[in-house]
Structure 1
Amino acid sequence: MENSSREIVFSLIGLNDTKSNKVIYFSCSFLIYFFTIFVNITLLVSVMLDRVLHEPMYIFLCNLCVNGIYGATGFYPKFLLDLLSDSHVISYSACLTQLFTVYTYVFCQFSILTVMAYDRYVAICKPLEYHSIMTPGKVWKLLLVPWLISLCETSVASILTSRLPLCGFKIDKLYCTNWDLVKLSCVDTSVNNLYGYTILIILLFQALLIVISYFHIIRTCVQSKADQSKFMETCLPHVITLTSFYLFASFDVLYARYGSSSSQQGLRNFFSIEYLIIPPLLDPLIYGLKLKQIRQSIKRLLSRNISAGT
């Protein structure tokens, strides 16, 4: 086989263990994907239709839901098709497209969570200045910047990866990632590794900004019971969302680099997809259950639909 991007086809050997129970895996995966899309769209529609929720915090939450739908859609459709197929393969161009989608989702998730931490910092630490700081123009910038930064970061990573000649065509996962293609390269990948460390530094810097924000938030909340109540209602969901995503993403990175290749395929699969399936499903549920105004908005939306149906 010539090393031409038009002819390269990868085998996704992570799906080998699903052949005996593919109907069960397909049914469960389809239901999870459907429910993920449903809960995110429900929250989005509730915020858009309720003028009371047209506040920066809820708008940023909508951005998080849009990214969750984007990330889930980057994984599930191809995975579901593979479960119905006897041959688990993916073309070079489709592989690059999938890794671009997955990495954009990951980088954007980090950036959106950083923006949401900044929003909570201003709301709790500078409540009197909140509306003068979080102007409509600034909100729009804070909505777009995570996507622009993520697209730029992923574009550079994709370009660096696409220039690599490959000496292998088996991917030990359920989907394509940049790290898998770099491992299949038969030339020096120092530039790719250096860029990977650069991205890691950027993510650590974002994490530092979040830590600083919450340091000031907690210091302010200690002095006021009202702020403590606001923290429990609006910041606790963000902390849970943030912690879960950082943990799931860290598990995948650490296991990809240091995990044993002799471990069970099912375990490797779980660690590789948890950050793609759990946060998009969990985030809208956490906010929908915890934020009183969103709960009330969803109830009004459902009651209107029921009334219209009857």
Structure 2
Amino acid sequence: MENATTVTSFILTAYSEMDNLKYLHFFVFLVLYILIIIVSSILTVVTYIERALHEPMYLLVCNLAVNGVYGSTGLLPALLGHLVSETHEVSLGCCLAQVFCLHTYATVEFTILAVMGYDRYIAVCYPLHYHSIMSISRTWKLIAFSWIYPCSIFIMYFSLTLRLTFCGRFIEKVYCVNFELVKLACAGASLINIVGLVSIIFFILPQLFMILFSYAQILRVCLRSSKESQIKALQTCTPHLLSVINYSVGSFFEIIQSRLNMSHVPPETRIFMSLYFILFPPMLNPVIYGMTIHAIRVRIFSMFRVRKW
């Protein structure tokens, strides 16, 4: 085992499983990254320049797109660099920065989705009071909360990781995550795992409760409403439900990869599962909202002078 003072960099071993097709992978990930930037930028620009879209739901969607760009930028440029590199080595500082970026992306994403669930709950259950409850000033406070609250919780937990010394260098992924770093620590891993579990519970439960409560109330109202009202509620909630499902799939993949022995799973499948979380929500969320919400779709098409449908 290496001396703790000598470990100042890590080797991302999963890249060795991509060497045979590394240029194909480079092209695919480059295209995906460009798509994420383009679709998120279009949605953000359209929301900014169209005053009619300065509504709570659209502002929340815009922040979801911005967070997607933030998260994908925390991974994909580094991933593209490693694909054409021969060493796949990352310094301790860069690894810690990537951990911070990817984890804050994930926690902010879930918090924004929880706030969006609350927004849909107000829109369906209290439509006459929607604009008074979800005022622009309150919406901006909720947006600020969506960024500050999860980042603050993770920073408190991450401060423990920053104090660790490491006795191992090999990370069996294509990027750095906190759990992998803790496994390489010389000492203190048990305490951080306990604190991490408590932090996850305190972080996940409020957001999960908000989403479940919102949709339980929406379902209750829909069951007592007319067919037309049910269809309208379904239309207004579908984009958010798709985004929550997309996020949940990525979370599930990441959890089973971190907690279970995946050595029997083909390398390509493991890499796909580990990258799903950071690729598909940022890429699909702007598409889901851009194509399913009529107001956004009309303005995007008019922006590019495409006949609306």
| TM-score relative to the length of structure 1 | 0.93
Which piece of structure 1 moves more, 262-271 or 285-294? 262-271
State the Cα distance separating 1:263 from its structure 2 match. 3.2
Deviation at 1:226, TM superposition (A): 4.1
SS of residue paired to 1:90: strand
For residue 250 of structure 2, the aligned residue among 227, 248, 251 is: 248
Q: Deviations over 1:159-216 (max 9, x none)?
A: 1112122110000000000000011112132321122212321213311221111011
Specify the code of the residue in structure 1 equivalent to 2:208.
A
Give the structure 1 partner of residue 143 of structure 2: 143
Correspondence for 1:291: 293
For residue 208 of structure 2, what is the aligned residue in structure 1?
207
Query: Hey, what does 2:125 align to over in structure 1?
Result: 125
Unaligned runs of 5+ residues in structure 2 are none
Q: What residue in structure 1 maps to residue 220 of structure 2? A: 219
The alpha-carbon distance between structure 1 residues 282 and 95, as it changes in their structure 2 partners (threshold 3 A), is same
2:301 is aligned with 1:302? no
Say if 2:10 and 2:169, in contact at 8 Å, map to a contact too. yes
SS of alignment partner, residue 20 of structure 1: helix
Match of 1:159 in 2: 159
**Counterpart in 2 of 1:231?**
233
CA distance in 2: counterparts of 1:228 and 1:51, whole angstroms: 29
Aligned-CA RMSD value = 1.6
Which amino acid in 1 is paired with 2:212? V
Q: Structure 2: how far apart are the matches of 1:269 and 1:169?
A: 19
How many pairs does the alignment contain? Answer: 303
Give the stretch that moved more between structures: 133-142 or 228-237.
228-237
C-alpha distance in 2, partners of 1:49/1:159?
Answer: 40
- How far apart are the structure 1 equivalents of 2:195 and 2:91? 25
Give the match for residue 110 of structure 2: 110
- Deviation track 1:241-264 (CA, whole Å, cap 9, x = no partner) reads 101201211221122111333433
Q: Distance in 1 between matches of 2:195 and 2:139?
A: 30
Q: Which amino acid aligns with 1:211?
A: L
CA distance in 2, matches of 1:232, 1:207: 20
The residue number in structure 1 matching 2:75 is 75
Q: What is the alpha-carbon distance in structure 1 between the residues aligned to residue 252 and residue 200 of structure 2? A: 11
Amino acid at match of 2:66: V
Query: Identity across aligned pairs (percent)?
Result: 37
TM-score of the pair, normalised by structure 2 = 0.94
CA distance in 2, matches of 1:247, 1:259: 19
Gaps of 5+ in 1: 305-310
